Structure 1
Amino acid sequence: MSSMEAPSRARPDDARFVVRRMTPPEVQIALDWAAAEGWNPGLDDARAFFAADPQGFFIGTWDGEPIGCISAVAYDDAFGFIGLYIMRSGWRGRGFGIRLWNEGMAYLGARNIGLDGVVAQQANYRKSGFVLAGRNVRYEGVARTSVDPVQTTLTLADAADVPFATLLDYDTGVFACRRAAFLRDWLTLPHACARVALSGNTVRGFGVIRRCARGYKIGPLFADDSPAAHALYRALVAEVAGETVFLDVPESNPAAVALAVGHGMTSVFETARMYTRGVPEVPLARVFGVTTFELG
């Protein structure tokens, strides 16, 4: 996710400011900064984020001290995603952010690039070639299963009991591209639970809930229809009953909004999902919860 002002023009270089690729431990530094900004990342996101693209995380240092960062994850040759765009307080407005931005954008090159940015900065992101696709809304509530369940014949299984290749195929049909390295780690995060909705041996949806800086976040929540999504939601929140939970919902999927509201959740934040080369052919009717604002 990106909250700082989108870049509009470059400023003079300063040799004391250096942009380089992050080491694996430095991804956690970026997530700690994101938590301080109020973005509420998962406690264990760093491993899966880095696995998505070890070359796609950049840190800016002043005399060796980290002061800014950006992620520019290249999932494949055609699709990438910008996130974790942060300059530390006291270092903003000096032209360092544009250097981080340019490094990330240059790395992603001609790919279709997505981001979840603060809504108020849409005009600035447009200057860098991004076009609005829609809003993603963060909902917050308390994990409870007292809501009357939707009748369904589906069975629910642990993700570990379903072949990874089967889950990857389902994910690829809902996400903008194939993301095997990321998904393999995401499904096995510590302090997380992954559930799959099945009709016989056919996957009808899956979801992950993970521990965050505050409460727990569900993402993704992918399902063929509302009954499958509701069944998965109930199974996931049952693991953390009574805790605060979050779900990031694409506003353009009314069934996803209805799920969040029906489970007593309220909207607390929103982002502008934008792309540089058009909206990917993603079936938003099956997206009941975005995986992560940082990586799409």
Structure 2
Amino acid sequence: MTGQNAAATTGLRRLREDDLEAAAALSRAVGWPHRLEDWHFGWRLGEGLVAQAAGRVVGTIMAWRFGAEHATLGHVIVAPEAQGQGHGRRLMMAMLDQLGATTSVKLHATAAGQPLYASLGFVPHGGGVWQHQGTASGVGLVPLAEGGRLRPAGRGDAALLRRLDMAATGLDRAALLWSLLEVAEGVVLMRGEEPAGFSLLRRFGRGYVAGPVVAPDEAAARSLMAYWIGRYSGQFLRIDLVGDGKLSSWLQESGLVPVEGVIPMWRGSAPPTAGLHCFGLSSQALG
């Protein structure tokens, strides 16, 4: 079938819950580790579209709104046998139209996807993100700054985590954080009596993912990551590290090797942050 004829037989529609098994199969076909449970988690928080050809799902896209003015995009997948037929561009254009012209949109682009996103008005913003993963090996205690300690995080910390996360990302991700707290373990970084950062860990893909990791500086981020590396030593762990440098080298020494890099891109203005930094993503789709 030619690309023109394929386009003529393709329709776009809303991503439904009964599409998620097909979506998970697509992600496996392109080498992504997402489980069906991971698709359900994202679907409950967001909105999506599918491309259909001959009654079969051949492409997906999802978006998550954070407040009235910002969103993230992810799960942009086209079946290997259907690539090169324009499905990805049609899905992107339809979702951007659905989000509206006033919404600033962020995504994380692979090198292969960057030309498409650039043609739709996305521009690189900030440093790269490196996916580190592997069998974690205990790194020993990483000392905290004087007066620092880690305490468990629970559902009662939802408002606190929202405030810290907004300072690091500029986004109101209350719904995401509440959903993460229902399935994740967490720790809050305290400096004296003041909360200064946090990190969450949950089941994802082949094992566990630690993120978001929100901290005031690289040393604090290392302490938060070391907590999970020590606790889950011998198990498969993933951290999507924002930036590289010393933390990347240290993660490699801990058994988490870099396997893929992506570039943050924004269409519209990125929101301002307020003194904290996101050193590790909850996922490349959700940020």
* Pick aligned residue for 2:177 from 183, 192, 201: 183
Counterpart residue number, 2:200: 208
Counterpart residue number, 1:33: 26
Does the C-alpha gap of structure 1 residues 155 and 222 become closer, same or farther in structure 2, counting only changes over 3 Å?
Answer: same
C-alpha distance in 1 between matches for 2:178 and 2:25: 23
Counterpart residue number, 2:251: 260
Deviation, 1:148, is 4.7
C-alpha distance in 2 between matches for 1:256 and 1:108: 35
- What are the residue-to-residue correspondences of 1:1-296 with 2, within 5 Å? 16-27=9-20, 29-41=22-34, 44-53=37-46, 56-110=47-101, 111-133=103-125, 134-152=127-145, 153-160=147-154, 162-189=156-183, 192-251=184-243, 254=245, 256-257=247-248, 259-261=250-252, 263-282=254-273, 286-296=277-287
Does the C-alpha gap of structure 1 residues 104 and 11 become closer, same or farther in structure 2, counting only changes over 3 Å?
Answer: farther
- Which is worse superposed, 108-117 or 62-71? 62-71
More helix by share: 2
TM-score by length of 1: 0.83
Indicate the SS of the match to 2:97: helix
What do residues 166-212 of structure 1 show as CA deviations (whole Å, max 9, x unaligned)? 111111111231011111111222xx422222235432211122223
User: What residue identity is the alignment partner of 2:157?
Assistant: P
Indicate the SS of the match to 2:75: strand
Give the paired residue count: 282
Indicate the SS of the match to 1:187: helix
Does the C-alpha gap of structure 1 residues 24 and 243 become closer, same or farther in structure 2, counting only changes over 3 Å?
Answer: same
Q: CA RMSD in A?
A: 2.8
Structure 1: unaligned runs, 5 residues or longer: 1-9
- Which is worse superposed, 96-105 or 13-22? 13-22
- Which is worse superposed, 266-275 or 278-287? 278-287
Deviation, 1:79, is 0.9
C-alpha distance in 2 between matches for 1:294 and 1:202: 30
Q: Is the 8 A contact 1:122 1:132 kept in 2?
A: no
User: What residue identity is the alignment partner of 1:26?
Assistant: D
Q: Is the 8 A contact 2:213 2:280 kept in 1?
A: yes
Deviation, 1:57, is 0.9
Q: Is the 8 A contact 1:70 1:83 kept in 2?
A: yes
C-alpha distance in 2 between matches for 1:24 and 1:132: 32
C-alpha distance in 1 between matches for 2:276 and 2:196: 13
Does the C-alpha gap of structure 1 residues 80 and 12 become closer, same or farther in structure 2, counting only changes over 3 Å?
Answer: farther
Q: Is the 8 A contact 2:30 2:79 kept in 1?
A: no
Q: Is the 8 A contact 1:194 1:209 kept in 2?
A: yes
Deviation, 1:243, is 1.3
User: What residue identity is the alignment partner of 2:179?
Assistant: D
Q: Is the 8 A contact 2:50 2:57 kept in 1?
A: yes
C-alpha distance in 2 between matches for 1:16 and 1:256: 48
After the TM superposition, list the runs of 4 or more consecutive aligned residues in structure 1 that deviate by more than 6 angstroms: none
Does the C-alpha gap of structure 1 residues 180 and 148 become closer, same or farther in structure 2, counting only changes over 3 Å?
Answer: closer
